[in-house]
Amino acid sequence: MSLSDDADQKLDELIAFYQSESPKIWNELRTFAINEMIDIIKADLKIWE
């Protein structure tokens, strides 16, 4: 697999690869990313309290 040098394009290529080749891993990655985003938002909200 050859990936683009552009960071955004590379991310798109990796997402497409995992979605088509390994849906289970893609779902786990997506769940992890969402949980991380929620934790970051919660931490930011605590700072603003």
The domain limits of the chain are 23-49
CA–CA dist 24, 39 (Å, integer): 23
CA–CA dist 7, 11 (Å, integer): 6
Task: Provide the whole-model pTM.
Answer: 0.66
Please return the burial class of 16, using the count of CB atoms within 10 Å of its CB with bins 0-12, 13-18 and 19+: exposed
CA–CA dist 30, 32 (Å, integer): 5
Q: pLDDT tens digits, residue range 1-49?
A: 789 999 999 999 999 999 999 999 999 999 999 999 999 999 999 999 8
Q: Positive or negative, the Cα torsion across 32, 40, 10, 12? A: positive
